[in-house]
């Protein structure tokens, strides 16, 4: 490991980098790796892993890509039709569905996994509503480690098998999903399991690579806004830290305005932002089509609020109806994101309507995970299929196009 510390995001108490417990003993808030100084490794990004390209910005002393599955380096796609329809100057989609297990989670998993292995763990685990469990199960299999994945008891069955295929210990627990996060950390300490949950410091370090890639893909200019679907808050923290580190090292001049977007049916960070309380409170009965962002008590919620206040960020929330509409519109550009990842586009439309974002802005929407992960959402769409017989084909094609 590099000579760095973990620092409490609230009280700034310092801890050794080799610590696996992700929260502060004094105040309970999340820890973060201190800001890293570095420069990009030159080389061929077609053959490099994120570990190699961004080695100087990651907390490891040596480059080692043994456990990589080829995560990161996802496309940044220019929007044509949606940008034109919204009248916005520039709209881009960072397509995280193209990661090895079809979501951004792989970036954080691979970094946390390396930390676990350096610390000598041979058992890893996570608590997840789906995407992170798939990711940790896949990387655990790749590394040959025993892996436990704990999911909520109400997880849709189509989300279970993509975890099970990697053969982890798979446990579904009824009850409050928000509590499982904290319960699993205790279990980890009791049973020597490295729990790489949603916002642990090394997962956050992995999410920084989204910002690094964005800067490189935009020739070291920054968009005005980056919109991030948010649940625990780990990913948006990592993306923001990535921009901050590039700025600290003189690679970019400004940090974009970060937009944290939640689903209205489970929006504790938005509620705290709206009411100005500064602390998230548990949502009693979360309910949204965007299951992947349905954490009723986000473990990094307070830190997201602190950071966005410091940087002038925005928090908003969108309805299930807006999410489903945005999912369809994204597909119209050729990108099939799951409902939780379509919230970024739904948020942009809302912010434009409310004049919070202006039409001359440049915006990146993070599309966090693939639509194939949750096909139950199809039921909310009205797709049309024309049924016919061979003899009618000619007439149909002639009249329908
Ligand atoms: C598809 C998708 N988008 C967004 C998120 C939210 O990320 P975070 O929990 O880091 O805020 C998740 C988290 O599970 C997710 O699976
Ligand atoms: Zn603290």
Atom of ligand 1 nearest to the CA of 128: 14
Which residues have CB under 8 Å from 379's CB, separation 6+? none
Angle at 233 between CA 5 and CA 12, to 5 degrees: 30
Selection from 183, 223, 197, 194 nearest residue 131 by Cα: 197
Give 129-181 pLDDT, tens digit per residue.
Answer: 899 999 999 999 999 999 999 998 888 888 999 999 999 999 999 977 778 99
Provide the pLDDT for residue 152: 87
DSSP 113-133: HHHHHHTT-SEEEEEESSHHH
Ligand 1 mean position, distance from CA 63 (Å) = 27
Burial level of 378, CB count in 10 A (0-12/13-18/19+)? exposed
Kindly give the distance from the C-alpha atom of residue 63 to the centroid of ligand 2, in angstroms, as a whole number: 31
Q: What percent of the chain has pLDDT over 90?
A: 90
Tell whether ligand 1 has an atom less than 6 A from the beta carbon of residue 242. Answer: no
- Mean pLDDT computed over 383-397: 92
C-beta of 301 in contact with ligand 1 (< 6 A): no
Contact 268, 281 (CB under 8 A): yes
Q: Cβ of 177: how many Cβ atoms within 10 Å?
A: 22
Give the Cα separation of 47 and 34 in Å (integer). 29
* pLDDT band, very low/low/confident/very high, at 41 (cuts 50, 70, 90): confident
DSSP character string of 370-392: BGGG-GGGGGGS--------GGG
Distance 148 CA to ligand 2 centre (A): 28
pLDDT of residue 218: 98
For residue 310, what pLDDT is reported? 95
Say yes or no to pLDDT of 396 above 80.
Answer: yes
* Beta carbon of 99 within 6 Å of any ligand 1 atom: no
Higher pLDDT, 369 or 44: 369
- The reply to whether ligand 1 has any atom less than 6 angstroms from the CB of 131 is yes
Ligand 1 contact, 92 CB (< 6 A): no
Quote the Cα angle for 326-296-27, to 5°.
130
| 314 CA to centre of ligand 2 in angstroms | 25
Q: What is the pTM of this model?
A: 0.97
Atom 16 of ligand 1: nearest residue by CA position = 292
pLDDT, tens digit, 9 for 90 and up, residues 47-73 = 999 999 999 999 999 999 999 999 999
Any atom of ligand 1 within 6 Å of the Cβ of 234: yes
Q: Which atom number of ligand 1 is nearest to the Cα of residue 337?
A: 1
Q: Is residue 359 scored above 80 in pLDDT?
A: yes
**Do the beta carbons of residue 279 and residue 302 sit within 8 Å?**
yes
How close is the Cα of 230 to the center of ligand 1, in Å? 6
What is the reported pLDDT for 48?
Answer: 94
pLDDT of residue 8: 98
262 in ligand 1 pocket by Cβ < 6 Å?
A: no
Between the CA of 15 and the centroid of ligand 1 the distance, in Å, is 27
Pocket residue to mutate for ligand 1, from 159, 230, 242, most atoms within 8 A of Cβ: 230
Nearest to 168 by CA among 140, 198, 189: 140
Q: Across all residues in the chain, what is the average pLDDT?
A: 96
Structure tokens at 287: 């309910």
As a whole number of angstroms, the distance between CA 86 and CA 227 comes to 16
pLDDT tens column, 318-345: 999 999 999 999 999 999 999 999 999 9
Q: Does 135 contact ligand 1 (Cβ within 6 A)?
A: no
Kindly indicate the confidence band of residue 207, based on its pLDDT and cuts at 50, 70 and 90.
very high
The predicted model gives 121-136 an average pLDDT of 95
**C-beta of 162 in contact with ligand 1 (< 6 A):** no
Residues 6+ apart with CB under 8 A from 338: 290, 292, 327, 368, 369, 370, 371, 373, 374, 377
Tell me the backbone φ, ψ of residue 8, rounded to 5 degrees. -65, 130
Q: Distance of CA 168 to CAs 20, 68, 97, 144, 165, Å?
A: 21, 18, 22, 11, 8
Query: What does the pLDDT average to over 234-262?
Result: 98
Report which of 207, 204, 244, 232 is spatially closest to residue 99, judged by C-alpha positions: 207
pLDDT band at 384 (very low <50, low <70, confident <90, very high): confident
374 band by pLDDT with thresholds 50, 70 and 90: confident
């Amino acid at each position: 490991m590099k000579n760095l510390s973990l620092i409490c995001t609230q009280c700034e108490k310092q801890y050794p980098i080799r610590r696996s417990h992700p929260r502060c003993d004094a105040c309970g808030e999340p820890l973060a790796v201190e800001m890293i100084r570095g420069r990009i490794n030159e080389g061929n990004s077609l053959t490099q892993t994120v570990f190699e390209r961004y080695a100087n910005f990651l907390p490891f002393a040596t480059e080692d890509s043994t456990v990589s599955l080829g995560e990161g380096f996802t496309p940044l796609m220019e929007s044509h039709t949606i940008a034109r329809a919204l009248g916005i100057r520039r709209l881009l989609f960072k397509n995280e569905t193209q990661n090895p297990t079809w979501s951004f989670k792989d970036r954080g998993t691979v970094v946390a996994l390396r930390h676990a292995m350096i610390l000598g763990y041979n058992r890893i685990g996570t608590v997840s509503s789906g995407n992170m469990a798939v990711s940790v199960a896949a990387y655990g299999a790749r590394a040959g480690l025993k892996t436990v994945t704990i999911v909520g008891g109400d997880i849709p069955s189509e989300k279970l098998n993509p975890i099970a295929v990697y053969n982890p210990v798979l446990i579904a627990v009824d009850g409050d999903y928000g509590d499982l996060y904290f319960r699993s950390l205790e279990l980890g300490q009791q049973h020597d399991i490295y729990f790489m949950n949603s916002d642990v410091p090394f997962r956050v370090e992995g999410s920084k690579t989204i910002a690094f890639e964005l800067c490189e893909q935009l020739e070291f200019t920054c968009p005005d806004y980056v919109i991030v679907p948010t649940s625990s808050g780990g990913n948006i923290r990592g993306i923001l830290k990535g921009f901050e580190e590039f700025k600290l090292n003189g690679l970019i001049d400004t940090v974009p305005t970060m937009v944290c977007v939640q689903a209205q049916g489970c929006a504790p960070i938005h509620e705290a932002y709206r009411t100005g309380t500064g602390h998230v409170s548990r949502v009693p009965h979360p309910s949204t089509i965007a299951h992947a962002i349905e954490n009723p008590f986000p473990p990094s919620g307070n830190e997201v609020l602190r950071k966005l206040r410091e940087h002038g960020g925005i928090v908003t929330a969108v309805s299930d109806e807006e999410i489903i509409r945005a999912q369809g519109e994204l597909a119209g550009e050729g990108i099939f994101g799951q409902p939780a990842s379509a919230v970024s586009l739904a948020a942009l439309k809302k912010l434009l309507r409310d004049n919070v974002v202006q039409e001359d802005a440049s915006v990146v929407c993070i599309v966090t995970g693939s639509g194939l992960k949750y096909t139950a959402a199809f039921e909310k769409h009205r797709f049309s299929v024309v049924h016919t017989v061979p003899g009618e084909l000619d007439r149909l094609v002639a009249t329908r196009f």
